[in-house]
Amino acid sequence: MAKPEVVLITKADCHLCEDARDAVERVTARLGVGWTEQRVDNLPELRERYAEEIPVVLVDGIQRDFWKIDEGRLERVLRRVMAD
């Protein structure tokens, strides 16, 4: 079973980021998958790329969701990746 790389891209003072963090934590905990968070505040290349979409969830480097994270969709994506 493959372990996907899950990255949540956030920024400071972002209420949607707090909600996204909770959603990603719930889904990954259910599936036993780790995740990391990257903040754009000190990473100009990420800030430029995702400025209007934060928070963003990447799975294995592919953008899978942004703004309001859909837990069902994220779980389906992770299960698909883990099955490969």
CATH number assigned to the domain comprising residue 49? 3.40.30.10
* Total of domains in the chain: 1
**What's the rounded Cα separation, in Å, for the pair 60 and 82?**
11
Residue 29 lies in a domain: yes
Residue 1 pLDDT exceeds 70: no
Domain that holds residue 19: 6-83
Token pair in block for residue 67? 């703004």
pTM of the model as a whole: 0.94
Digit-coded pLDDT (tens) for 3-60: 999 999 999 999 999 999 999 999 999 999 999 999 999 899 999 999 899 999 999 9
Residue 42 lies in a domain: yes
Residue 1 lies in a domain: no
Q: Find the largest Cα–Cα distance for the chain.
A: 37
Q: How many other C-beta atoms lie within 10 A of the C-beta of residue 64?
A: 19
Cα atoms found within 13 Å of the Cα of residue 43, Cβ hemisphere only: 14
